[in-house]
């Protein structure tokens, strides 16, 4: 079963839905497939207070529902389904949905996002939205004058620890190795911050708390004869061990960086393949915010419309 469309959007977070809004208003009749997590990773966030237009804040799920309704209002065709295969090196582009249906499209906007890496502790799922977070910029505000922990030893972990130190009473930085992997300037800033205590050669092995995170179980020198177990009292537990862009299906077709993020033409959502655009976290290893993702979704839709117009499609 084949279908031909002018604009296909893969992914349904802020980037995908915003691209659908703009593409619909440009009369591109976009079709959007939501993937395995309709609404994207923002649906796992409880309160969103930094998205413009919501002065009282809004839950991540409600925000995504609002964007979806807005896209639908303008005529976007939003469907359940997951992309299982792609051929972007042909015209029109061919995208297979759920291993069965093939969509042929003049343009493709990729907005599949990126997934935060977790330690794999059962407690991370147990306390999701109740003290466990993978974004200090998103959720740090809720921990003003409280105690938090950040897991990681690279630049991102140090940046998040420093950011949280500006809000929280105390920040523990839990580092597996006996040193920080961060750049020298970030190491210095972290070590010189009086609110940050670095726990070197430590692993977080569990969390505890009644109605949310109240503390973490820590093991120092794990697996050695010097192994030592202790607990820290915290209100928030932040993961800063990296993100994995959802790009496996595009390997060998698009240019990806060493981590897997889609490489685009600087300042644009254009990939090296004409008619294929990338928006949101799938092409953004730096900001990873809902508002920047939405902005890049707008850009991708505008570029798709220009591409079609220039070719009379």
Interval 123-173: pLDDT, tens: 999 998 899 998 888 889 999 999 999 999 998 899 899 999 999 999 999
Residues 111 and 21 in one domain: yes
- Determine the pLDDT at residue 116: 83
Residues 229 and 197 in one domain: yes
In which residue are the tokens 């659908």 written? 20
pLDDT mean over 95-111: 96
Residues 226 and 276 in one domain: no
Q: How far is CA 284 from the centre of its chain?
A: 9
Kindly state the DSSP code that residue 249 receives in the 8-state scheme.
Answer: G
Q: Where are the beta strands (DSSP E) in the chain?
A: 2-10, 31-33, 47-48, 58-59, 77-79, 83-87, 93-97, 101-110, 114-116, 132-133, 147-151, 170-174, 196-199, 202-208, 215-220, 228-233, 236-239, 243-245, 276-278
Residues 136 and 230 in one domain: yes
Helix axis angle, 290-310 to 14-25, nearest 10°: 40
Residues 111 and 122 in one domain: no
Residues 6 and 28 in one domain: yes
Residue 10 has pLDDT above 70, yes or no: yes
- Determine the pLDDT at residue 274: 96
The answer to which of 29-38, 42-51, 293-302 has the lowest mean pLDDT is 42-51
| Catalytic annotation, pick one of 7, 106, 123, 139 | 139
Domain count, the chain: 2
Residues 166 and 278 in one domain: no
Pick the more confident residue, 45 or 151: 151
- Determine the pLDDT at residue 1: 66
Q: Kindly report the pTM of this predicted structure.
A: 0.79
Kindly state the DSSP code that residue 128 receives in the 8-state scheme.
Answer: B
Residues 128 and 167 in one domain: yes
Residues 235 and 248 in one domain: no
- Determine the pLDDT at residue 45: 64
> Rounded distance, CA 57 to CA 291, Å?
14
Residue 307 has pLDDT above 90, yes or no: yes
pLDDT, averaged across the chain: 93
> Rounded distance, CA 286 to CA 40, Å?
18
Question: What is the three-class DSSP state of 42?
Answer: helix
Final residue of a structural domain among 218, 239, 260 = 239
Residue 31 has pLDDT above 80, yes or no: yes
CA atoms within 13 A on the CB side of 116: 26
7 is annotated as an active-site residue: no
Q: Which residues pair with 102 in a beta bridge?
A: 2, 96
Residue 254 has pLDDT above 90, yes or no: yes
298 is annotated as an active-site residue: no
- Determine the pLDDT at residue 295: 97
Residues 138 and 233 in one domain: yes
Comparing CA positions, the residue from 18, 22, 13, 11 lying closest to residue 79 is: 11
Task: Count each helix (H run) and each strand (E run) in the chain, helices first.
Answer: 7, 19
Buried b (16+ CB within 10 A) or exposed e, 86-115: bebeeebbbbbbeeeeebbbbbbbbbbbbe
- Determine the pLDDT at residue 183: 87
Question: Confidence band (pLDDT; 50, 70, 90) for 38?
Answer: confident
CATH number at residue 82: 3.50.50.60
Residue 117 has pLDDT above 90, yes or no: no
The answer to which of 52-61, 172-181, 190-199, 201-210 has the lowest mean pLDDT is 52-61
Residue 46 has pLDDT above 70, yes or no: no
Comparing CA positions, the residue from 160, 299, 182, 124 lying closest to residue 240 is: 160
| Catalytic annotation, pick one of 7, 106, 123, 135 | 135
Residues 233 and 286 in one domain: no
Final residue of a structural domain among 182, 211, 239 = 239
Range of the domain at 37: 2-115+243-310
Residues 221 and 154 in one domain: yes
| Catalytic annotation, pick one of 138, 158, 202, 235 | 138
- Determine the pLDDT at residue 265: 96
> Rounded distance, CA 60 to CA 48, Å?
6
Final residue of a structural domain among 185, 208, 239 = 239
């Amino acid at each position: 079963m084949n279908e031909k469309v002018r604009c296909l959007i893969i992914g349904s977070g802020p980037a995908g839905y915003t691209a659908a809004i703009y593409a619909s208003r440009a009369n591109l009749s976009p079709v959007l497939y939501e993937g395995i997590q309709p609404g994207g990773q923002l649906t796992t966030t409880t309160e969103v207070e930094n998205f413009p237009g919501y002065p009282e804040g809004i839950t991540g799920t409600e925000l995504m529902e609002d964007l979806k309704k807005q896209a639908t209002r303008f005529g976007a065709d939003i469907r359940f389904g997951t992309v299982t295969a792609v051929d972007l090196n042909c015209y029109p582009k061919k995208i297979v949905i759920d291993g069965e249906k093939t969509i042929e499209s003049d343009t493709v906007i990729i907005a599949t996002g990126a997934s935060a890496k977790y330690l794999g502790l059962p407690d991370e799922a147990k306390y999701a939205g109740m003290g466990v977070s993978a974004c200090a910029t998103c959720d740090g505000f809720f921990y003003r004058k409280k105690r938090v922990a950040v897991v990681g030893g690279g630049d991102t972990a140090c940046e998040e620890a420093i950011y949280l130190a500006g809000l929280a009473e105390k920040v523990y930085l839990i580092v597996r190795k006996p040193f920080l992997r961060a750049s020298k300037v970030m190491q210095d800033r972290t070590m010189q911050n009086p609110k940050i205590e670095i726990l070197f050669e430590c692993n977080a092995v569990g969390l505890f708390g009644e109605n949310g995170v109240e503390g973490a179980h820590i093991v120092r020198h794990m697996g050695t004869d010097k192994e030592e177990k202790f607990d820290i009292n915290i209100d928030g537990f932040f993961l800063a061990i990296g993100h994995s862009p959802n790009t496996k299906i595009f390997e060998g077709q698009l240019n990806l960086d060493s981590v897997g993020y889609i490489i685009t033409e600087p300042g644009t959502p254009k990939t090296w393949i004409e008619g294929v655009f990338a928006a949101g976290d799938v092409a953004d290893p730096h900001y990873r915010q809902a508002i920047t993702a939405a902005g890049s979704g707008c850009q991708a839709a505008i570029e798709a419309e220009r591409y079609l117009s220039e070719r009379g499609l």
